[in-house]
Each structure stands twice: as C-alpha cells, then as structure tokens.
Chains A and B, each alone.
Chain A
Amino acid sequence: MTQAREDNALDLAGSQAGQAGARPSRRRRRFSVLTRRDKILLGLMVGFPLFLDLALIWGPALVSIGLSLTNWRNTQPLTWDNFVGLGNFERLASAYPPFWEGLKHNVLWFLVLMLIATPIGMFFAVLLDRDIKGSRFYQSIFYLPVVLSLAVIGIIWQLQYSADNGFIDAVLGFFNLPKPDWFGDPNINLWAALVAASWRHVGYIMVLYLAGLKSVDPSLREAASIDGANGRQTFQHVVFWVMMPINVVIVVITTIESLRAFDIVYIINQGKNGLELLSVLITNNSISEANLTGFGAAIAVVLLVISLVPIVIFLSWMMREDTSA
C-alpha cells in the first residue's frame, strides 16, 4: 500500500521534473502516463487490424471446421439437414484416393525441400560465407529464383521440361536417349516439379543461413580451431548448434512452404494426374463445378491440423526468445 503510494508520488514528480526521478517504477506503470484519449487511440490502432485479422483469417479457419461437418454444396442454402458429422472425413480416408495421394505428395514435398534443398542451401551459405572472391556475385545468382513467382517458375521450367519443345528432351534426343514427358508422366512429374521448387528454395535457405553465419561469434570458431578442429568439424560440432534459432526458423519455413505449395502444380496441370497436393484438392473440390464446399472444407481442416505443428513450434520459439532477450 505505502509502496504504491510512494510509486505514485514518484511518478508525478517524475513527469513534472522530466525524466530523472521516475526510473525505477516506470516499467510497471507505463500506462499511467497515458491519457484516456491515448488509451482509446492505442485500442483503435490494435483493435481495427485485429478485427480484420479475426474476420478474414481466424474466423474462416474456424468456419472451415464447421463446414467440414456438412455436405453443403453451395447451390442451396445451408440448413441443419446438411450436417453429416464426420462423414466427410470417413469418405476422405476410405473412398477418395486422391486424398492419400495428395498427402503423400505433400510429405514428399517436405522431405525433398528439407533433406535435399535445405542442405544444399546451407552448403552454399557455408562456401560463400568465407571471404572468397565474387561471393556477392554468386549469392545474387543463387538468390535470383527466390524473387520469381512460383507460377513464373512453373512456366520457365516448362521451357526446360516440355517433351516436344523443351531443352532437356532436345539434348536427350540428340544423344538418342529416351525422352520422358517430364511434366506429363504421373510417375515423374512430381519429381520434376520438385526440382523447380528446390531451385527456388535453395536460394532462400542460403540467404537465411548466411545471416545466421554472420551472427556466430567469431571467437567460437577461433577457439575451435585452436582446439584443433578443422573447418568441417567446427561447423558440425559448434557453428551448426550455435545457429539453432535459425535452424528452427528454417524447419518452420520449409514445413509451411511445403504445405502451401500450390502455384507451381496449378500452373503445370491444375494439380492433377500425379501432382495432387492437399492445397489443390481443397480448391478443386470446393471452388469449381463440383461445388463440394463441405468436402473441400474437410481437406482444409486436415491441412489446418498439420500446419498447427510448425505454427506452435514457431510461437513457442518466439516466446522463448522473447523471455531470454
């Protein structure tokens, strides 16, 4: 009680005399300096964007869950008769083969980006972090695909992959080798698309790791080299672990990128015939002639549940960083 009154007095004195006195107590009662008008203004500054965020992102995410329990087809009004419980999910699991295909492709997408593209990006970063000549030049080139839209990337790679007019098959034909239809053959088109997606992902990862490597305390490397570690050992046993925060971000980004993958398969063949992904199954079912709104929403819920994993990882990382900072 007396403590509080003292604080108040201090604060008054502080605000009259400028900065000097209020220091120790300021942190706790920062709001006390704010007028009523200020508080309303701050409320609006946060409230309006928060309303939009809830109305257009979190609201629809929740409504997706509700719709996933219906067989609503959007052509008639939605009523209680449309409620089918978990029927959509049963159908997804047992009577809709594209769902498992799509899920499998999303997993493959993640594995290829995580286990192939990400290490390549990291390797480029390690090479370019040493002060070799032209490091910036190489960086610019490896990074270039990242600024391109995935739709443009799909078309650029079509010029490579096309069976009749593409570069790759023209070269293979010159050597009398078989000429696969890279984007057309359902056994290989996912891999062909993944090459294009990785082409972009590598540059992204490289930039993030370059920033991470710059932030590693040089004395750690010196200490390691004094202890007799070579470059590779230093990276493997010291640098990689010091960069743990970046590693977490990269796993999160890679997971989310592979769940979001859409543009590139859509521009190739609208995500059909070997290129099914959960993301395209959602739109192809619910926003199309089929009008299977409820069924599409059920796939969206599956995608939502999966994406909560990286999101929770990221948020807990964010909280930990916040408290440790």
Chain B
Amino acid sequence: MTTVTAVTPETKPVRSRRRPIQWGNIGVHAFLITMAVVWLFPVLWAFYIALRSFADTTLNGYVAFPSSLTLDNFFNAWTQGDLARNYIQTLAVVIPGVILTLLIASMVAYACSRYSWRFNRLILMVFVAGNLLPQQVIIVPLYQLYLALPLPKAVSDTGVLYDQLIGILLIHIVFQMGFCIFVLSNYMKTLSKELTEAGLVDGASVLRIWWSIILPLCRPALAALATLEFTFIYNDFFWALLLIEKGAKRPITSALNNLQGQFFTDFNLLAACSVLVAIPTIVVYVVLQKQFIRGLTLGSTKG
C-alpha cells in the first residue's frame, strides 16, 4: 500500500474505501453508458448511412435494418467530389503549417521567456491576445489586403495573395502562433535558468541554444502542440471559405461547403463525404489521444 501511494501520490487510499458501496457505482455506470451511447450515436449514424446504398434507403427508409452494406458511397463521393484534389490541398497547408507555426512560435517563446528584456511580457501578450480575437473581427480588411497584395506569378497564379493556398498557410501560421507561443513560453519557464546561461558562458550563440538545448527539452510540449495544431488547421473552415474563391481550390474541410450542395439530394453520399472528412482527425485522435489532451491541458493550466 505504501509503495503504491508513493508512486502515484493521488487519493487512491481514500477512493478505494468507496469500493464496497457497489450500488452507487452501478447507477453511475448506467448513467455513463447511456450518455456514451447518446454521444456516440450521431457519429455512428453517419457511418451507418454512409454504408447503405441509396436504393436501399429509398426503399426501406433511413431508420431500418440494411438489406446490404456497401462501400460504394465512399468511392462515389471520392470520385464525384474530386476529393483527392482537396486532400492534397489540405496536406499542402497542414504540413508546412504545423512545422512553421511551431518553429516560429518556439523562437518567440524562447526569446520572450528565457531572456528578460524591456518588453518581453508585453509582446507575449500581443501574441496571445491576437490569437483570442474572433477571426471575423479582422476578415473585412484582411480580405481586401489579400486582394491587393501582389505576388509574383511564379508563386501565385492569380498574381495576388487571394485565392492561393499560400495565403491560407500564411494566415494559419500567424493566427495559430499566439496559442503555441503561450503554451511554449509557459513550458520554457519551467526549464532551469542554468541551461541557457551555461550555453552562453560556453560561447554558444542564442540560435544554437534555442536549437540544440531548448527545443529538444520542449519535445513533449511540441509533440502535444503538433497534434493539436494538425487538427486545428485541418478543421479550419473559415479562412479558406473566405480567402479562396472556389471549392475546387480549397482544402477539404472548407470544400465541404460546396460538396454539401453537390450531394444534397443524396444523403448517403453526403454522409460518406462527411465521414471521409472526419476520418483523418479521428485517426489522429485515436492514435495520439494522450498528446491531444496534453496539448489542451498545457493550454489551460500553467505547465
């Protein structure tokens, strides 16, 4: 008993005293199971509709046992919606988006939390507050800015930032930076001061200390943030909806806006499409659940 409490200093001993009262626990479990079913139902229902054929549902209705299950809807949604294209566009935004956001955020967090200079706290706040603004507050001028900002034809086929994946990438990096800076600077504050100073005394440059001392120590926070940022950027609907003109050019989540109209008459296809969009985040969540939750917890508590 003592060794157990030593290893996990929680309220184990107090809790285990509750064990004999089984009736209360049964009630709790009944409640939780009911709620779990209610919670899971809408997602399972979407899968179920997606697996049934249009003919089957028109004949028997949606709330019915299936006469057969098929993956056809997924293939049809994939080809009719030209989803491969949207997924590639998603990847082109999400992968550089996560990497660059974390790199830049870790630099700012490092410079603001490991060194004290006159405005370091103020600047942290500018970043954090920027991340808290509703996106719609800035969209009106941002939209005009994107229309007006010229880009060389080599990078942008429209000649401006508007209607370009690179524009979406840019606003994601800038907008997500604030949250990552907040989490990383809190994390870095918990690292020992001596680390930076020993490096400086040994003649390492600040860049070198950031890259070879601080970043490796931040690996847990970076992993958690990478998982979280993947879903944040993947799930973005707003930026690409307004800063890219047509569905075909958008990443998958905002392309849903058009796909919904396209599949509206066929609920089975629509369900399949929404499931296809949801699957990457669900997979990431199932595989990296711990990282995911740690990321959120790091964001809400200090360290």
Contact = CB atoms under 8 A, between A and B. Distances in A.
A208 B111 CA distance: 28
A283 B297 contact: no
B141 interface: yes
B140 A293 contact: yes
A311 B133 contact: yes
Contacts of A170: 61-63
Interface residues of B, number: 108
Interface stretch (B79-87, B123-131, B150-158, B218-226): B123-131
Contact of A45 (B110, B141, B242, B273): B110
Nearest to A306: B134
A37 B205 contact: yes
B200 interface: yes
B125 A318 contact: yes
Interface in A137-171: 137-138, 140-145, 147-152, 155-160, 162, 165-167, 170-171
Contacts of A108: none
B300 interface: yes
Interface stretch (A90-98, A177-185, A210-218): A210-218
Interface in B214-252: 231, 234-238, 241-242
A149 B234 contact: yes
A314 B277 CA distance: 33
B139 A167 contact: no
Contact of A300 (B105, B139, B254): B139
Interface string A4-40: 0000000000110011000000110011011101100
Nearest to B136: A279
Contact of A57 (B121, B133, B189, B285): B133
Nearest to A323: B121
A310 interface: yes
Contact of B10 (A34, A145, A218): A218
Nearest to B285: A147
Given A19-B197, A64-B138, 5 more contacts: A140-B286, A166-B62, A174-B63, A208-B296, A249-B301
Interface of B: 9-12, 14-15, 18, 25, 28-29, 31-32, 35-36, 39-40, 42-43, 45-46, 49, 57, 61-63, 104-105, 107-108, 110-112, 115-117, 121, 123, 125-130, 132-145, 170-171, 173-175, 177-178, 189, 193-194, 197-198, 200-201, 205-207, 210, 231, 234-238, 241-242, 253-254, 256-257, 260, 267, 270-271, 273-274, 277-278, 281-282, 284-286, 289, 292-293, 296-297, 300-302
20 contacts: A15-B201, A33-B200, A34-B115, A58-B130, A64-B140, A143-B285, A143-B289, A147-B284, A149-B237, A152-B235, A152-B278, A156-B274, A159-B271, A165-B267, A167-B62, A256-B134, A283-B136, A304-B133, A310-B132, A321-B302
